[in-house]
Amino acid sequence: MFTDFFYLLRKKGVPVTVTEWVSFIEALYNGYFQSSLNHLYYVGRAFLVKSEAYYDMFDQAFQEYFGGIKTEGPELDKVLDWLENPLHKLPKMTPEEIAEFQQRLEEFRKEHNMDELMKQFMERLKEQKERHDGGGKWIGTGGTSPFGAYGHHPGGIRVGGESWMQSAAKVAEERRFRNYRNDIILDVRQTKMALKKLRELKREGAQEELDIDETIDKTAKEGGEIELVFNRSRENTVRIILLMDTGGSMLPYTELCERLFSAASQMEHFKEFKYFFFHNCIYQDIYEDIANYKRIPTEKLFSQFHKGYKVVLVGDARMAYSELFDVNGCIDYFSTNDKPSIEWLMKIKQHFPHSVWLNPTHKNFWGHYTVDTVGKVFPMFELTLDGLKDAIKALTSKAKPSVLN
Amino acid sequence: MVTGQGYKGSEDYIASKPLMEIVNVSVALGKPLVIKGEPGTGKTLLAHSISTALNKKLLIWNVKSTTKAKDGLYVYDTIQRLNDARFKDKDISDIRQYIKMGKLGQAFKSDEQLVLLIDEIDKADVEFPNDLLNELDEMSFHIPELDEEVTAIHRPVVIITSNSEKELPDAFLRRCVFHYIEFPDEEMMEKIVRVHYPDIENKLVREAIKRFYWIRDVDGLRKKPSTSELIDWIKALSLGGISTDKISSEIPFLGAILKNEQDTGRFIKLSHAQGGGFGFKRRF
């Protein structure tokens, strides 16, 4: 009967897998949820959700599926009464049954393509809502689902009565875990966590790690005379250059960029971490400070740093057409530039094949000609935790040539 | 059914009801329990508490950045054997004496059921949890050197803590039960503090907790103070003989709560802006 809850979870974005669902059902039928909504919420969550980032989505799904029960004041007694005296005893699931269940779920997934599944799901959802309105009936048989045979919840659902800190429905309703969602915030700690993925292990430094294979090999060759072979230990060799836009349109995102910056500079595991700033777009000069006083020629990037450096550009990439494509297009009144900015960008991409652009603005606002163009030169990602993860994936995978080349 | 029995927290550890239930279910089903949460929410202590409450011995496997999954199973001391072979003062034909069980191996081989704490699993290499998949699932592993299978006599109660320094692989998480320990609310916090200091005056504790949550709410702190900081702070307040009024009018020993210069700066600026100025200048 809960199968539509499974699909509801998936629809809300919780990556529940069949394995997890089966263990959940198994626990359910073994009576571990003690027939209470609170157990179902907390213990169910422990089985189905494996990261606090998805707690909020779980809350939403739970609220949608079970939330109705709260509003049905007078009916509740009836439901409770009915639950006290369940009509049927529940079948216990054997391993074979579980396997069959899993197989059926797989078949079901194969049979229905995604659209159809969604449609069916929506229909079911509607139905479910109606039942809610009708008053607690949702606890009844789940005949319409392909897994209807498993009948009811073990002892029914008892609401309240126990000294939980807060009732599950209320917790779900509060959506306390909203701030843990991956697609919303990016704090320093999370950023650091994401940046840790950015690594390339290579053997460098002093030879102090005993190479056992080599030692055995050598010793055997020496006829048993022990010959110790040492090796360099593996170290992260990632070198990063961060280029940040300090232009006026970036002001609303200062704090966000600050967090990225402080996370990156706190990372001790980079071999090297360099940072520079630019104003709206990159021309012949970039700056070593945020206030754009200490300028250094952009050419220096190419002479000082080899192509192994990974370059992360941060900016909204939103500017006037002329700023990107025209000679002397730079927004600063006193600056001139004899090369349009786009050429510099392409030069950077050519010199540093591993480079990405992080955009603090929401993807929905990217429909702008300069954003599109920059996005064609550099793979562009949102400056969210998910975006950052994708960006890091792109940085560590093999570089693709830019489209404009 | 696990009602009425099983884990209910222990004298020195306050577990929330959901957590207790989850512990009980994971023990009953023999599934490893992954515990995540802010630093200082008592992840590691949970295992100690389970071990005391269920009266089972606790085995701790502290994971470090250099820890390999195999270390937890067994270590084959080849160097020792090589060395012994060289001096011929020992019989080296028995490999068994050079095979030393790791923590997981010990837990499997034990005659009684143990609580095994795999602490801070995220410290290790990204691949580490994946290397333990089968071992934790089947609760057995193979030693090729002896061609022997080590199978758990009693499935240990496995508690795994993570500080989310790295994300754990999905395949690993699928096999576990997961719980995120939320930061305790004020009421819960009072109980926790009481466990540590049953004798400190009620008023002081309450006022300190109130202040503490107020500080935690300050926007944009780089490191939010955690339970352990509160506990230290309350101890300092009590030892320093600070009166309750003083806690509400200024914040003594701020250094015990905020441990980052920028945070302290930000906090002082903010409390000045909110008027009053709390007399920080005198103290810092």
pLDDT tens per residue, chain A (405 residues)? 578 888 888 888 888 888 888 888 888 877 776 667 777 888 888 888 888 878 888 888 888 887 655 433 334 444 444 444 444 434 455 666 666 666 666 665 566 554 555 555 455 544 544 433 333 333 333 333 333 223 322 222 322 233 344 455 555 666 666 555 555 445 666 677 777 777 665 665 666 778 888 888 888 888 777 788 887 776 677 888 888 887 767 777 777 777 777 777 777 677 788 888 888 888 888 888 777 778 888 888 888 888 888 898 988 888 877 778 877 767 665 666 778 888 889 889 888 888 899 888 888 878 888 888 888 889 998 888 788 888 888 887 765 544 444
Tokens 């905020």 belong to: B258
Residues in A touching B24 (Cβ below 8 Å): 32
Nearest residue of B to residue A54, measured between CA atoms: B180
Q: In chain A, positions 41-70, which contact chain B (CB-CB < 8 Å)?
A: 42-43, 46-47, 49-52, 55
Q: Measured between alpha carbons, how far is B20 from B141 in angstroms, rounded to an integer?
A: 30
Q: Measured between alpha carbons, how far is B152 from B141 in angstroms, rounded to an integer?
A: 9
Q: Measured between alpha carbons, how far is B243 from B203 in angstroms, rounded to an integer?
A: 10
Of B25, B86, B173, the CB nearest to A226: B86
State whether residue B186 is helix, strand or coil. Answer: helix
Answer yes or no: do A39 and B85 touch at CB < 8 A: no
Count Cβ atoms below 10 Å from residue A118 Cβ, excluding itself.
Answer: 13
Of A23, A43, A219, the CB nearest to B21: A43
Nearest to A35 by CA among A87, A80, A88, A3: A80
Which runs of E-coded beta strand occur in chain B?
33-37, 58-62, 74-76, 99-101, 115-119, 140-143, 148-151, 157-162, 177-181
Tokens linked to B156: 């240990």
pLDDT at B36 over 50: yes
Residues in B touching A32 (Cβ below 8 Å): 1-2, 24-25, 28-29
* Cβ(B67)–Cβ(B122) below 8 Å: no
What's the predicted TM-score (pTM) here? 0.59
Tokens 């050598």 belong to: A218
Q: What pLDDT, on the 0 to 100 scale, is given for residue A24? A: 85
Whether this model's ipTM surpasses 0.95 comes out as no
Nearest residue of A to residue B176, measured between CA atoms: A47
For residue A41, what are the CA distances in angstroms to A345, B2, B29, B89, B162?
51, 17, 18, 63, 22
Q: Residue A286 is inside which H or E element, if any?
A: strand A285-287
Q: Measured between alpha carbons, how far is A248 from A205 in angstroms, rounded to an integer?
A: 44
* Cβ(A358)–Cβ(A155) below 8 Å: no
Q: Measured between alpha carbons, how far is A179 from A185 in angstroms, rounded to an integer?
A: 7
Sign, Cα dihedral of B197, B203, B204, B209: positive
Answer yes or no: do B26 and A38 touch at CB < 8 A: no
B278 sits in the region (left: phi over 0; alpha: psi -120 to 50; else beta) called: left
CB-based contacts of A91-95 (< 8 A; 24+ apart in sequence): A91/A29, A91/A150, A91/A151, A92/A29, A92/A30, A93/A25, A93/A26, A93/A29, A93/A150
* Cβ(B2)–Cβ(B127) below 8 Å: no
